[in-house]
Amino acid sequence: MIRVRRALLLAFLAAPVACSSTPPPDAPTQPLVRGPRIVFSYETLDGGALSTETVAGRYTVIGFVATYDDSSHAQARFLSTLVRRHVPRINAGLVVLEPPHHKLLVEAFAKVVDPPYPVAMADDATIAGAGPFQGLHHVPSVVILDPQGREVFRNFGLANADALDAALRALEQGKTPQTQTIAR
């Protein structure tokens, strides 16, 4: 009876390890697949540009948000935390998926969030999901571009700073990051 209990206890203690979705550090990974360079340009609230040219040369994390969505506010703050952790190694930006007549709302949103990165308004094509970031019209969402401007990571839904940090670390090691979405 004691042996059975011991075996059950060992099986119970080993279960979380066996069920873990995180591979061990030495596990083989898939090579990173990079798509074509994405060419984009959005006007920032301060009259500048968030574009392929302004972010070239570093990994770039772009958050796609809306002013009316609580998760978008959280995503903007998580992105601010990530930027502070990685200064000056990454670029970041926020693209608000709202029409031009919402500019006052977007400016108020930016003032409240006070991000250490540029905030831009999307064009009509991007809002519809047909712009340079095809199919991306969910909020919040995050895209990571490599230093050449190729999309290497996409996450639909809220992703906290730790999940984005893990994605960046995987990319820097040449691995494909896992999408880690927080349920709403």
Look at the pTM and tell me if it is higher than 0.85.
no
29 near 169, Cβ under 8 Å?
Answer: no
Which distant-in-sequence residues (6+ apart) come within 8 Å of 32 by Cβ? 152, 171, 174, 175, 176
- Residue 137 has a pLDDT of 85
CA distance 162 to 168: 10
pLDDT tens profile 118-146: 999 999 999 999 999 999 889 999 999 99
CA-based angle 149:152:153, to the nearest 5? Answer: 125
The residue that leads in pLDDT, 28 or 167, is 167
- Residue 176 has a pLDDT of 87
State which amino acid sits at residue 104. Answer: L
pLDDT tens profile 3-42: 544 443 344 334 333 333 333 333 334 455 677 999 999 9
Q: What are the DSSP calls for 127-169, one per residue?
A: HTT-SSSTT---SSEEEEE-TTSBEEEEEESB--HHHHHHHHH
pLDDT tens profile 83-97: 999 988 999 999 999
Domains for the chain: give ranges and CATH numbers. 48-184 (3.40.30.10)
